[in-house]
Amino acid sequence: MRLYVNIDHVATVRQARMTDEPDPVRAAVLAELGGADGITIHLREDRRHIQDRDVRVLMETARTVVNLELASTSEILDLACDLHPYQATLVPEKREEVTTEGGLSMTGASLDATAAAVDRLRSAGVRTALFIDPEEDALRAAEAMGVDAIELHTGEYANTEGEERACQLARLAHAADLGRTLGLDVHAGHGLTYENVAPVAAIESLEELNIGHSIVSRAIFTGMEAAVRDMAAIIHRARAAR
Ligand code: PXP
C-alpha cells in the first residue's frame, strides 16, 4: 500500500502570515525521507494554502510523485495540463467549506463537468482519479468515464464511532472490492489519523492512502520525517496482520 502525504497544511501555516515559511516543498522532502510514496497537494481556486509556485517547485524537486487535487474549473485545469503532475485527483470544492466535505456529485451537470475534466487531463497524459463516496452508482459512473483510479471518501468512517463506524468500514471495503472488480485502482483518504487508520489500511483492495492533517499536526511536535515514518509503520503493520 502506498502512503501519499498531503502537505497543504504546511502552506496553511505559511499563509496565516503571508510569508515564506514554513515551506511546503521542504516538508515534502522530509516526508519523502520518512517514507512517503507520493506528495499530495490541493491547489484550491481561492489559493488559501498551496500557491501556483509551490506546485511548480514541488514538481521539479519531488523524488517521488505528485498527486494534484483540483476542482473541474477551467483555470485550474489549464494549470494542471501545463504542469503535468503524475496524477490529478478531481474533488468537489466550495469556497465556504473548511475542507473537502464529500465526494464528487456523480449525476447531472456535475457529472458532465467531471467527464469533460477527465477528458482534458487524459489528453494531456495525466493519470486521473475521482474522489467519490463509497457508493456503487458513483463507482460505476467513474468506471464509465474511463478514469484510472477512484479515491474513496473516508470522512464518514472517520466521523463515526462504534457500530456506525463498523458499518462505514464495511461500506468502504465493499466499495474497494467493487472498484477492483471494475478494473479501477482504489485509493482512500480524508480524516484518517494515527488512531483510526489501521482498519482502513487492512482493506485488501485499497492501494493508496492520502493523509494530511493528522500527519502535519504530529509533525509540529516530532518533525515531518518521524511523523510520516510513524504513520507508515501503522499502515504496514495493519497490512501484515491481515
Ligand atoms: N483526500 C482528499 C481528496 C482530500 O481533499 C483531502 C484533504 O485535502 C485528503 C485526502 C486528506 O485529508 P486529511 O487532511 O483529513 O488527511
pLDDT tens digits, residue range 92-118? 987 777 777 789 999 999 999 999 999
185 CA to middle of ligand 1, Å?
Answer: 18
Residue bearing cell 467513474:
142
- Rounded to an integer, the average pLDDT of 217-235 is 98
> Residue 173 — very low, low, confident or very high, per pLDDT cuts 50/70/90?
very high
**Residue whose CA is at the smallest distance from ligand 1 atom 5:** 100
Q: Which of 195, 210, 228 gets mutated to test ligand 1 (max ligand atoms within 8 A of its CB)? A: 210
* Residue-averaged pLDDT of the chain: 96
The stretch 20-29 carries a mean pLDDT of 98
| Number of neighbours of residue 12 by Cβ within 10 angstroms | 17
Catalytic residue among 42, 49, 153, 187: 42
189 close to ligand 1 (CB < 6 Angstrom): yes
* The predicted structure's pLDDT at residue 99: 76
Nearest atom in ligand 1 to the alpha carbon of residue 191 is 15
Asked whether 38 and 4 are in contact (CB, 8 A), the reply is: yes
User: CB neighbours (10 Å) of residue 95?
Assistant: 8
Are 118 and 145 a contacting pair, CB within 8 Å?
Answer: yes
Residue 186 phi/psi, 5-degree rounding, is -120, 120
Over residues 37-45, mean pLDDT: 97
The pLDDT assigned to 98 comes to 78
Query: Which one from 32, 69, 151, 156 is the annotated catalytic residue?
Result: 69
Residue 232 has pLDDT above 80, yes or no: yes
Look at residues 130, 116, 112 and name the one whose alpha carbon lies nearest to residue 186: 130
d(CA 23, CA 39): 14
Which helix (H) or strand (E) segment is 211 a member of? Answer: strand 208-211
174 catalytic? Reply is no
Taking 90 as the threshold, does the pLDDT of residue 214 lie above it? yes
pLDDT range class, residue 59, cuts 50, 70, 90: very high
The single-letter code of the amino acid at 187 is H
Residue 149: predicted pLDDT: 98
Owner of C-alpha cell 515559511: 21
Per-residue model confidence (pLDDT) at position 96: 73
Among the listed residues 29, 24, 26, 25, the one whose alpha carbon sits nearest the alpha carbon of residue 13: 24
Distance separating alpha carbons of residues 208 and 185, to the nearest angstrom = 9
* Mean pLDDT value across residues 15-37: 98
From the CB of 131, is ligand 1 less than 6 Å away?
yes
CB 118 within 8 A of CB 90: yes
The count of C-alpha atoms lying within 13 angstroms of the C-alpha of 43, restricted to the half-sphere facing its C-beta, is 24
Give the architecture (CATH level 2) of 71-241.
Alpha-Beta Barrel (3.20)
Q: How far is the CA of 116 from the centre of ligand 1 (A)?
A: 23
